[in-house]
Structure formats: structure tokens, C-alpha cells
Amino acid sequence: MPSNKLFARYPFYEQAFQAPEYHIRNYTRIFKEVFKKPLRSLREDFAGTLWFSTEWVRSAPDRSAIAVEIDPVPIEYGRQTHLATLDAEQQKRLKILERDVRVVTNPKVQVVSAGNESCLLLTKREELKDYFRAAYRSLTDDGLMILEVEGGPASAIILQDREHFLKDNKPWFTSVWDQQDFDPITNVGRFAVHFEFPDGKVMKNAFVYQARIWTIADLKELAEEAGFSDVYVYWEHCIDEVWMGDYMRIDIAPPVDEGWSCYVVAVKGKSRIKKSKRPIKYRIPARYKK
């Protein structure tokens, strides 16, 4: 493990908030559904520690990735912790750029992705539209921009949410999602992540964000203004307050008491999905019914 003290927070963040295998599976399925062909190349924006991009190129010998991240600290952690686990051939298929995500990149890719609600860090309309335009120009003729986003009533209140993690069947750490402030005029809030440990130590404000809780309607409209031809919503299933990492394309969302999670999928080119005669309403899949 790298000795840099700034690196100490990343293993806990990855355990608490990231699941590359889910997104690899979901992106592959969604791209195949929209364009009827395999997904081989993508760009990961707000790439952080490069974990997702690393696992993407590892998952198949014909897959390549561009990882874009402006902060050199998580990039260096990712180089030492994740990139180092790839062989030389796999490393050649991963291009790392220390840049703002509002950059047009080459070669063009089939998917531009922004996971972990990271696009919410762009709090101004023109900032977000500029990002969407850059994403559009970085895509192949048949391409998708995939945004992982969250929202709902619980996003606009002051609260703390704790999740406990085990290692070798023993308490490891507790992740605390701390919504510290929220302005309903701008929809911008201050959010932080703390990590608590069994010995009583606390890694306070391990991560602090200022983010805007954009509505799905806002994101769809901005994507269309940026040139995307269609925008789909893939709703994440939440069963007994557990997010399943599994998504369903819908037109009409269910009412929510606290929050929702979804992919907003913007299409460049011609979608092969046939228009439904009736709007697709959310339903719980049979596999999740008791």
C-alpha cells in the first residue's frame, strides 16, 4: 500500500461507493440494447483512482479506455494500486489524462461515462452543457453518454447516513454520508464523507463536495441542447432499502419517499430501440418479488 497519507482514504471510499463489476455489466447491456452491437471503448470521466477503467480493460482483450481526472493525487494512487495490476499489453489499452472533463478526446469512444453522481459537481448550467458538448464530440457516430445520478426528497435535507462494513467477518469501518447544507433556491448543497473505525478513530471530512441536485428533466433537456438525439432513463431497483445495481429502462418513474438512483443515457446517432406504443412504467422484476 502506498505510504502517502493522502492515499489512506481511498480504499474505504472504493469499498463504500464503487462497484466496477456492476457498471461493466450494465454499460455493456445498455449499449447492446441501444445499438445492437458490442461495446469495446469508453471514456471514464471524474475517473478518480482509475479503478473502473482498470477493470474495464481487464475484462476483455478487445476493450480500451480513456480515464480523465483533474486531481493528480487519486491518479497516482490508481497508478500504484490498480494500474500496476495490469500486464503491459493491458496497460497500453488504458490512456490516462490529467485534465478537466470538459475536454474533447481522441480516439473517439463508444461511451462517455460519469459515475458516482460526479456530474453533479458541475453546478452551473453552462458548465454542464459544456461538458455534454465535449462528451458528444468525443463519441463515435453511434455513442452513448451515461450519467449515474441520484436525487429525491432526502437529497434536500440535513442528514447523516451510516453503512457498516466487515472484513474477515469483523467490523472494519463505518462510512458516514453527511449532508451538511442545502440551498433550495440553487439546489446546491455541501456533502461530506467520514470514516469511523472500531478503535474510535474518525477520518473526518475525508471527502467534501459542493454539488447541485439536478433533476432528470434538467439533464435530459441539456443533453438534447448539446446535440444528443434521444435520452433514456434506466431506473435502479431498490428492494427493502437496498440498491441492487440493476437497472430498467422506463418512461414513467414510481413515486419515491426518500430517494432515487438512475442512469441518464444520452444517444448520439440512431437508436435501434423501437418506440413503445405506451410509456414504459416502472415495475419490480419477478426475481425480486418475495
Taking 70 as the threshold, does the pLDDT of residue 63 lie above it? yes
Structure letter (DSSP) for residue 80: H
Strand order in the sheet with 230-239: 94-97, 64-68, 41-45, 109-114, 139-151, 260-268, 230-239, 242-250
At 2 the pLDDT is 45
Mean pLDDT (whole number) for 122-132: 98
Q: Model confidence over 69-103: pLDDT tens digits?
A: 999 999 999 999 999 999 999 999 999 999 999 99
Q: What is the pLDDT of residue 1?
A: 45
Mean pLDDT, rounded, for 225-236: 97
**Per-residue pLDDT for 290 more than 70?**
no
**In whole angstroms, what is the distance from residue 168 CA to residue 36 CA?**
42
pTM: 0.95
- pLDDT digits 0-9 by tens, 194-214: 999 999 999 999 999 999 999
C-alpha 259/C-alpha 246 separation (Å) is: 16
> In sequence order, what E strands does the chain have?
41-45, 64-68, 94-97, 109-114, 139-151, 159-167, 170-183, 188-196, 202-212, 230-239, 242-250, 260-268
Give CA–CA dist 288/285, Å, rounded.
Answer: 6
CATH code for the part of the protein at 5-150+214-288: 3.40.50.150
Q: Where are the domains of the chain?
A: 5-150+214-288, 153-211
- Which of 2-6, 70-74, 109-113 comes out lowest in average pLDDT? 2-6
Element (H, E) at 51: helix 51-59
The dihedral built from the CA positions of residue 15, 239, 177 and 99, taken in this order, carries a sign that is positive
Taking all residues of the chain, what is their mean pLDDT, rounded to a whole number?
95
